[in-house]
Amino acid sequence: MSEHRSVAIIVRGRVQGVGYRAWTKGVAEARGLAGTVRNRQDGSVEAHLAGPAEAVAAVIEACRQGPPGARVEDLTVSDRAASSPAAGTRGVQILPTA
């Protein structure tokens, strides 16, 4: 059985208006992850993702590049408690800007 990991990812740069949220949703769901993704008022994108540790690591690496048109300048990752909301959800939900 694979180790489970839950993370919060903040991506800064040109990541709004380029389809970053929808792209993140697709990449994460293709790897079997669950969680949420949203734009933030400061211009960054925030994702909370959970699933098999190897899949989470692969999505983090993909997020460093992002979709065509994005320009990632900074990406921070912090581990979250296993009981975080992302751990119990199915799929990745796109949430309103916070």
| Catalytically annotated residues | 21, 39
Is 65 exposed, middle or buried (CB count within 10 Å of its CB: 0-12, 13-18, 19+)? exposed
Residue with tokens 């990406």: 75
Helix axes 20-30, 53-63, angle to 10 degrees: 150
